[in-house]
Structure 1
Amino acid sequence: MPVAERLLRTKPTERIVAEGGRGEGGELRRTMSLWQLTLFSVGATLGTGIFVILGQAVPKAGPAVVLSFTLAAVTALLSALSYAELAGTIPVSGSSYSYAYATLGELVAWVCGWCLMLEYAVSVAAVAVGWGEYLNAFLHSLFGVALPDAVTRSPGQDGGVVNVTAIAIVVLATWLLLRGTSESATANAVLVLVKIAVLLFFCAVAFTAFDAGNLDPFVPMGVAGVTAAASQVFFSYIGFDAASTAGEEARNPRRDLPLAIVLSLAVVTAVYVLVALAAVGALPWTDFEEEGAEASLSHIADLAVGATWPGLVVSFGAVVAIASVVLTVLYGQTRILFAMSRDGLVPRVFQRVGRRRVPVANTVIVAAFVSVLAGLVPLGQLAEATSIGTLFAFAIVNVGVLVLRHRRPDLPRGFRVPIFPATPVLGAVMCLLLMAGLGGTTWLAFTLWMLVGLICYFLYGYRHSRLNAEVG
């Protein structure tokens, strides 16, 4: 078979589904309900943008950051509907990597999987960095002390050496994941409920200081500012696809995966818009500063009441709840690598299943990599690098829906994208537009990441691919 045909050879959908759950040394256990899957996606998403990125986006768009969140949500919804269809058709752990393998071929699947490594691993690191900021805010409010900059900031930031706090939360999440999927899902459910309660508390406090004058002018930086902020806050919607990485551990994947994806995005969007409106209404947008913005919600809560206890509550909620983002996104990364390993594209160690029915070595290796990123790279650079990789993967998923509907209209689907083909086409276009709004440095980093990925594929993945080995 010619090389070009090998690179574009697709893996039969029926085979992908049949191999689901199987790893080296055992199988994953189906324990997750619709409720747990929905909270998994909410846990991976809710809090990432509001707790960490909001303060950096407001200076770009002003009060119109509310529109930025809405624009990003519409873009996410278009892709979420495509994810829902493919998750209900190909209910396996590989998420968009597996969908691309079934629709666009091995090379595109590899590129998608490589983007997912950027999306999941880097977003975990970015959130872990924000977690350290809230931990400091909480300790300062409660005890009047703060951890040294040397252990709470990345190198290159004021006084930063190694961000030990970011590494600590990654280690804690890893410990939970190694205990088992059911235990991780239960812990996540508790953390998500705490997170929602804290954000609703923030809204209640901030609206007491709401001043309509703070919203005038509403779009001070113009449409360009709204779009630029939307490109950045799209990072806050990363995670709604987390349920799709649990396809091999869901009890009823064809029915529950699509529902969990759509329900989680609806919850997240409603909370984001409400919190963003409360924040810019309580504090003039010109008072938001990008530096030190990671703990901006605590600051706004304190100003609204004129006391420190509201900020203490928000900081505590963030310290507890942002941990759920680290937990669920780290989980997603390990399951994608599990699927890629099963196809031979990454080493076999990533598919080895331990006695608790979890990929132990996979989890430890991913945690070590994420810890290095979290300890050494600043937040802003991580967030934008994550956005571009995610948008690229989402565009591939939208195209995948179009291709699979054309090639295999007979496949059973637990969900169908409405207004087909307009929805996936528009979803792909919106992803490309948001990618265009990201900076040149981000594009350069993304290009270099893709080049490294292609080198890895041709040096290892292409030579070890199980699909290629079958044709000699």
Structure 2
Amino acid sequence: MVQMAFYGLGSMLGAGIYGLIGKAAGEMGNAIWLAFLVSMVAAMLTGLSYASIASRYPKAAGAAYVTQRAYRQSMLTYVVGLAVMCSGLTSVATQSRVVAANLQQLTFLDGVPVTLIALGFLLLLAGIVFRGIRECMWLNIVCTTVEAFGLILVIAVGMSYWGSTDLLETPPPTDGGVGGITALLLMQGAVLTFFSFIGFEDTLNVAEEVKNPRKVLPWGIILAMVAATLIYIAVSITAVSVVPWQELSSAAGPLTEVVVRAAPWFPPVAFLAITIFAVTNTALLNYVTASRLAYGMAQQGLLPRFLRKVHSTRRTPHMAVLVLLALITGLALMGDITQLASATVLLLLLVFAIVNSALVILKLRPGEPTGGFEVPVFVPVMGAIVCSVLLVNRFVTGDWQAPLIAAGILGGILGLYALMRPEHVEEDDLAAVQQAEPAE
């Protein structure tokens, strides 16, 4: 349970909070902590749904498996599975370049092209994922500990500043709008900070490699989300207490700026290392998720069957790991793919809405097995509504670049589905084609 909590926490903490806090300050002023609180409530609804799903159906395909079981439409299952996978792949590609850019600041790598460093990082990451889930878990624990230390350091060195600022101060209204904390402001802030909680869904995709998943997975998700919320709120209060929100919003490295001001004795290179660990952890967990998702979808006949192969000694889906390495490398070579990565977040909100709705269907369907962690039906209903509202809110902002990219990705997935015509596997037949991958 502790390892799964670290896994989920590492997925959520990742690189997001290290850069997100500045953007959130620009939206919310000193009231960032309120945005995190609201987005936590929104994310917890979907998190509880995922916890219930994990206790009912601990399958490697995660969201794709539940979608297939509820709707029994292989095309929808295909879209959901590949949408999640695309999000993971673009994230890993983006993070590889972030790590490379940070490593390039070190003296011995000065002058080495960012792309070359990124490719070396991806090869190392693929080797770890191929090695086994246990190695990934232990590296996740190390990275999560380091990145959590970085956030705790921010809190520790800046806690003495608490109480020195008005935590309800917000940016002045524009165009004669209403000032102060309004429902619209909270919604905008929640949309932004909601993405810092994304990552809890990754736990479903390692379900077949966890001992006693019906008990361990739900509590791992819940503990991770509670811990992340407490850390986010404390960090946000500290950040605006040490650095005025106006300056925080324009800082290149918001948390680095907080540490520089509150603890000038702390070596800047050390915080650089912490940032690298944070980004590496997110990339690692996204890679694990994508490879297990590809394996699980191959088990259901929705991807080529060779992706379901498991290495004879390492007991990992080695073919999925290799194929995804090629795809991630291609994305990394594209250079700046920030917009592509942003667009995949929209796909995740769509997936969350579909998965919440799927749980509603399964809870109301007679004969469906119950799990060790059940939630009232209003939880997935509210989860689906909240995710849909956040998705629509993103569209009405007027910035159509990311939505158009997301639409293009969906079109590509549908085109691939039409080209491959994947085999439809009924739920009763899944057990027959399963090749269990034992926990290490």
Q: TM range, normalised to the smaller chain? A: 0.7 to 0.9
Which secondary structure state, in structure 2, belongs to the residue aligned with residue 60 of structure 1? Answer: helix
Equivalent residue, structure 1, for 2:218: 258
Q: Assess if the C-alpha contact under 8 Å between 1:50 and 1:276 holds in 2.
A: no
TM-score w.r.t. the length of structure 2 is 0.86
Equivalent residue, structure 1, for 2:408: 448
2: CA distance, partners of 1:69 / 1:166: 32
1:358 is displaced (CA, Å) by: 0.7
CA 1:337–1:459: 2 relative to 1, 3 Å: same
CA distances 1:260-285 after superposition (whole Å, capped 9, x unpaired): 11111111111112112211221112
CA distances 1:233-275 after superposition (whole Å, capped 9, x unpaired): 3222121122211111111111111111111111111111211
2: CA distance, partners of 1:129 / 1:113: 25
Alignment-mate amino acid for residue 262 of structure 1: I
CA 1:306–1:284: 2 relative to 1, 3 Å: same
Mind listing any 5+ residue stretches in structure 2 that lack a counterpart? 174-180, 430-440
Summarize the alignment of residues 22-33 of structure 1 with structure 2, pairs less than 5 Å apart. Answer: none
Equivalent residue, structure 2, for 1:179: 131
Could you tell which deviates more after superposition, 320-329 or 374-383? 374-383
Equivalent residue, structure 2, for 1:169: 121
CA distances 1:364-414 after superposition (whole Å, capped 9, x unpaired): 221232233344343642442232111111111110111001114551312
Equivalent residue, structure 2, for 1:428: 384
| Identical amino acids, percent of aligned pairs | 27
Alignment-mate amino acid for residue 189 of structure 1: I
CA distances 1:58-83 after superposition (whole Å, capped 9, x unpaired): 22332233222222221110001111
CA 1:67–1:321: 2 relative to 1, 3 Å: same
Equivalent residue, structure 2, for 1:213: 165
Q: Please say if 1:90 is aligned against 2:57.
A: yes
Match among 362, 366, 370 for residue 404 of structure 1: 362
Alignment-mate amino acid for residue 205 of structure 1: V
State the Cα RMSD in Å: 2.6
Alignment-mate amino acid for residue 299 of structure 1: E
Q: Please say if 1:123 is aligned against 2:127.
A: no
1:455 is displaced (CA, Å) by: 1.2
Q: Assess if the C-alpha contact under 8 Å between 2:87 and 2:341 holds in 1.
A: no
Alignment-mate amino acid for residue 155 of structure 2: C
Q: Please say if 1:35 is aligned against 2:7.
A: no
CA 1:55–1:425: 2 relative to 1, 3 Å: same
CA distances 1:75-126 after superposition (whole Å, capped 9, x unpaired): 1100011111111111110111111011012222112112212222222233
Equivalent residue, structure 1, for 2:25: 58
CA 1:413–1:436: 2 relative to 1, 3 Å: same
CA 1:77–1:129: 2 relative to 1, 3 Å: farther
Q: Please say if 1:329 is aligned against 2:296.
A: no
CA distances 1:344-370 after superposition (whole Å, capped 9, x unpaired): 221123211112111112112212322
2: CA distance, partners of 1:332 / 1:283: 36
Match among 348, 369, 372 for residue 327 of structure 2: 369
CA 1:336–1:426: 2 relative to 1, 3 Å: same
CA 1:88–1:175: 2 relative to 1, 3 Å: same
Alignment-mate amino acid for residue 257 of structure 1: L
1: CA distance, partners of 2:296 / 2:345: 23
Alignment-mate amino acid for residue 402 of structure 1: V
Q: Assess if the C-alpha contact under 8 Å between 2:340 and 2:402 holds in 1.
A: no
Mind listing any 5+ residue stretches in structure 1 that lack a counterpart? 1-33, 153-161
Q: Assess if the C-alpha contact under 8 Å between 1:298 and 1:310 holds in 2.
A: no
CA 1:377–1:425: 2 relative to 1, 3 Å: farther
CA 1:289–1:391: 2 relative to 1, 3 Å: same
Equivalent residue, structure 2, for 1:284: 244
Could you tell which deviates more after superposition, 89-98 or 226-235? 226-235
Match among 38, 46, 62 for residue 71 of structure 1: 38
Q: Assess if the C-alpha contact under 8 Å between 1:38 and 1:264 holds in 2.
A: yes
Equivalent residue, structure 2, for 1:351: 308
TM-score w.r.t. the length of structure 1 is 0.81
Could you tell which deviates more after superposition, 446-455 or 430-439? 430-439
